[in-house]
Every structure is written in structure tokens, then in C-alpha cells.
Amino acid sequence: PGRTASTAAALMIGLALVTCLSAFASGLLDSQSRDVERQLSADYVAVSQNGWAPLPPPVGNAIAHADGVSVASSVRSERARYGRANIDVSGVDPSTIASVYRLRGADASTLHGAGAIVRRPWAEDHHLTVGSHLAIVTPAGKRLQLTVTALYDPAKLDNLLGHVLVTKRTFDASFETPGDAYTFVRSSDRSGLARTLAAYPDARLLTVPKFAESRAADLESILNMLYVLLGLSVLVSLFGM
């Protein structure tokens, strides 16, 4: 009887944990997807087939000239060093980014020359304000001197832009192999986009909701691993008694 009671208790605890984790995971995934969607005012997002490799800039240029496209804004992305830490740097077009991305708390038109728009929490952590100077180092060792022109408020869970935003011209002149993490698109003709992207098999076009789902895929994989580990712990507790 004692063994049976212990086994039943272990099973009940395991089931309760699985139920709690399931509810937590569902809420977290939904929150992340909404977080991504709230950042965008685009209709579509062009990304690489695997979702993490950069797209060559000619892909974004071709999309911008596709039939039915009113705005296309590509976002370059690369890592850099600030002090001893790695940070994400994004290269954007100040004239188009605000039409497809909600840059909260900052005016994209302030971005020009050696200017930088910086994530507000990160700036506060490093005592940076508008007018502050900062230096970042590219993977090739090039030192880039920037001046903070504005601070923006990042998304809470899955921010699509980097710690530091610079113009695409500055980005391309500073990083050896510029590539686009994504191209945000406003278009009335998906078939026109499909025809354009047919020439670029490494690219794929997603609606904003589908893009948000794809961003949550990595988190979902981690949560699935937690399910497996929790299930194994329940089995161990059952058969190890």
C-alpha cells in the first residue's frame, strides 16, 4: 500500500507539472507571436528558407520593384562588439522603415550619417543618451564611431531590430558581407511578389502571422524538450521506487 500511494503521488505531481507547463507554454508562445505582429505594419516578410541565414541585398532590391509593392524595407543584420559584449546591429533605410515597422519612441528621420538609434534599456544600462558617442567593432576588426540620435523602446519578448540601428549606407561601408535578415513588404499583389522571388530560390515569402509563428518555432522546440525531460522524470520516479 505504501508503494502504491507513493507511486500515485508521484504520478499526480507529474501530471500537475505537465498541465502547468502546457498552460505556460501556450501562453508564452501566443505572447511571443503577438509581440512580433505588433511590431510590424507590413503585409509580408521575406526571409531565407532556413529563417536564419541572411539574404543577399539584391533580393530586397528586386522585391522593392515587384508589381504591386508600395513599400519594401530591408533590414541588414550582423553582430559587433561593444566593450567586452556582443551586440546586434541592424542596418535600416530611414526613409522606409517607419512605413513597415513601428519604431516606438524614436523618429527614424533622425538617423543619418554616423548616427545611431539605440535600444532604450540597453542605452540606460551603458549610460548612453541622445548625443552620446559610442564605438563598436565589427567582426573584421573595423572600429565604427557613432553618435546616438534617438532611443527606441524594444519589444518585450522578441525584438526584430538590434541594440544599435544605423543606416544601410553606414552598415554596408562598415561590415564586410552585408546581408538582410528580412525584408518587410507592403503589397497588394502577392502573385507579383511570388514571380519576383521565383528567381531567388533561397528566399521565401511569409504573411506577418506566419512569420510570427516561425519566430516562435525555436522557443517551441525548447519547450518540447522540457516536456520530454519532465516525462522522463515522471517515469524515473514511478519505476525507481
Q: How far apart are CA 88 and CA 77, in angstroms?
A: 7
Task: Write down the pLDDT at residue 215.
Answer: 83
Q: What is the pLDDT along the chain (241 residues), one digit of tens a residue?
A: 555 655 555 556 555 665 665 555 556 556 678 899 999 999 999 999 998 899 999 999 999 999 999 999 999 999 999 999 999 999 999 999 999 999 999 999 999 999 999 999 999 999 999 999 999 999 999 999 999 999 999 998 889 999 999 999 999 999 999 999 999 999 999 999 999 999 999 999 999 999 998 887 665 565 556 556 666 665 665 565 5
Task: Write down the pLDDT at residue 33.
Answer: 81
